[in-house]
């Protein structure tokens, strides 16, 4: 791969709703980064996005964007079923890739992406962007400082009604079509949560679980349970249900240590620390563009100014493996 000298000139493949505020505008707000081209299969919508966001080039064909000589890095924000195809095409063209979560449909697909990254020596980073947010960095610092002593257990509980507000909208409900998304709503939201388990606690040693479709609203699973053993014998349990009543809605991430407890919502902005007899509440302001901090790290990594990959494929595959075992057991998608 040819060295990138001074600036990352991004092309976005898949300029849908997720890129309107969360990520798209941030590419022009990070030093050494600019957004020069966007792609969407619907040409009129690609042109409209480019006009509204002052992007000078737009495409309706992903390969044409990848082959644009002005584009030297690619952000893939499509549904997961084409992540592998576009990521491999970009890396073979010598252009580093920042790919949305989940990394791909299956762990096998992720492995193929990783193999191409190694074979081409082209960088690949996964958009587990919550690792770069101040709230989660603070939690990591508290854990490193042993504010709750040695970590014993981690628990996640996510209960949401059907069509909950935090689930991103799309023209077609592809997020509950396993052929496009890999699974159901679990595959859309759990990557954030399970990646944070790894970020806080280290490697996932073992994982297993069960899933079911109880309500029959769509093909995919709507309830999931899972357990994991992490490094240092930390134990994890999780439950996800996407058909509860509005009154039962909850987003709980709880870390219990020998001397205290940290609890928060992955999609919230408040952290509760209990240490001994002291209870402390920490509040965090949501950023204007939730991915900006991660995009800054990725830009530095792609420019060679930072050695560490902000979220490598190897790291992302740990949470992908757990998700696959929770939902599909020993018979994952191909």
Reported as a single tens digit per residue, the pLDDT across 89-146 is 999 999 999 999 999 999 999 999 999 999 999 999 999 999 999 999 999 999 999 9
DSSP tag of 294: H
Q: Is the pLDDT of residue 5 over 80?
A: no
Percentage of the residues of the chain whose pLDDT score is greater than 70: 94
Reported as a single tens digit per residue, the pLDDT across 178-211 is 999 999 999 999 999 999 999 999 999 999 999 9
Distance from chain centroid for Cα 242: 19
Domain 134-286 in CATH 3.30.365.10: no
Asked, colleague to colleague, whether 8-129+290-312 and 134-286 share their fold, the answer is no
Beta partners for 240? 158, 224
Mean predicted confidence (pLDDT) in 289-308:
97
Q: Is the pLDDT of residue 257 over 70?
A: yes
Mean predicted confidence (pLDDT) in 57-65:
98
Beta partners for 10? 35, 73
Would you state the pLDDT for residue 1? 46
Closest CA to 135 of 286, 304, 305: 286
pLDDT, mean over the chain = 95
Angle between helices 313-328 and 185-201 (to 10 degrees): 130
Closest CA to 194 of 181, 180, 209: 209
Percentage of the residues of the chain whose pLDDT score is greater than 90: 92
Which of the four pLDDT bands, split at 50, 70 and 90, describes residue 169?
Answer: low
Q: How many CB atoms lie within 10 A of CB 281?
A: 8
Residues in the chain: 334
Would you state the pLDDT for residue 35? 98
Reported as a single tens digit per residue, the pLDDT across 38-55 is 999 999 999 999 999 999
Distance from chain centroid for Cα 36: 23
Topology, domain 8-129+290-312: Rossmann fold (3.40.50)
Q: Is the pLDDT of residue 167 over 80?
A: no
pTM of the model: 0.94
DSSP tag of 321: H
For the chain, give every domain's residue range: 8-129+290-312, 134-286
């Amino acid at each position: 791969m040819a060295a990138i000298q001074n600036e990352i000139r991004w092309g976005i493949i898949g300029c849908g709703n997720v890129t309107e505020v969360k990520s798209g505008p941030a590419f022009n707000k990070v030093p050494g980064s600019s957004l020069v081209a966007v792609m969407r299969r619907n040409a009129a919508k690609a042109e409209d996005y480019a006009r509204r966001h002052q992007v000078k080039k737009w495409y309706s064909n992903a390969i044409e964007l990848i082959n644009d000589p002005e584009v030297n890095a690619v952000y893939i924000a499509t549904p997961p079923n084409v992540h592998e195809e576009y990521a491999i095409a970009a890396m073979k063209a010598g252009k580093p890739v920042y790919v949305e979560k989940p990394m791909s449909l299956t762990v096998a697909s992720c492995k193929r992406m990783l193999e191409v990254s190694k074979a081409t020596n082209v960088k690949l980073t996964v958009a587990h962007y919550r690792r770069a947010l101040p709230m989660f960095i603070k939690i990591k610092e508290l854990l490193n400082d042993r504010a709750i002593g040695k970590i014993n257990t981690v628990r996640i509980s996510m209960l949401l009604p059907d069509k909950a507000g935090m689930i991103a909208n799309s023209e077609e409900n592809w997020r509950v079509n396993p052929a496009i998304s890999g699974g159901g709503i679990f595959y859309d939201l759990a990557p954030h949560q399970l990646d944070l388990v790894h970020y806080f606690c280290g490697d996932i040693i073992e994982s297993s679980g069960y899933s079911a479709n109880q309500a029959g609203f769509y093909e995919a699973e709507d309830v999931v349970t899972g357990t994991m053993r992490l490094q240092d014998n930390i134990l994890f349990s999780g439950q996800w249900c996407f058909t509860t009543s509005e009154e039962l809605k909850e987003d709980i991430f709880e870390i219990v240590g020998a001397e205290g407890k940290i609890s928060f919502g992955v999609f919230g902005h408040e952290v509760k620390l209990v240490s001994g007899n002291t209870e402390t509440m920490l509040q965090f302001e949501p950023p204007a563009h939730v991915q900006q901090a991660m995009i800054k790290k990725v830009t530095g990594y792609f420019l060679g100014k930072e050695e560490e990959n902000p979220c490598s494929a190897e790291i992302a595959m740990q949470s992908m493996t757990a998700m696959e075992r929770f939902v599909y057991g020993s018979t994952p998608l191909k």
